[in-house]
Amino acid sequence: MSDSPDAAGAPGPGGRVEVRRSAKRRRTVSAYRDGDRTVVLLPARMTKAEEAHWVETMLARLAAKDARRPRGDEDLRRRALALSRRHLDGAARPSAVRWVTNQNGRWGSCTPLDGTIRLSHRLRELPDWVVDYVLVHELSHLLVADHSAAFWAHVNRYPLAERARGYLLGVAAAHPGLAGDADDDVAVQPEPAQRRAPARCAPRPARDAGVQLELG
Helix 128-143 and helix 73-87: axis angle, to 10°?
Answer: 70
Domains in the chain (CATH in brackets) are 4-68 (no CATH), 73-174 (3.30.2010.10)
In this predicted model, what pLDDT tens digit does every residue of 161-179 receive, in sequence order?
A: 999 999 898 888 876 555 3
In this predicted model, what pLDDT tens digit does every residue of 44-87 receive, in sequence order?
A: 999 999 999 999 998 888 877 766 655 688 889 999 999 999 99
Q: What is the mean pLDDT of the chain?
A: 77
Q: What is the mean pLDDT of residues 188-193?
A: 35
Q: What is the mean pLDDT of residues 31-46?
A: 84
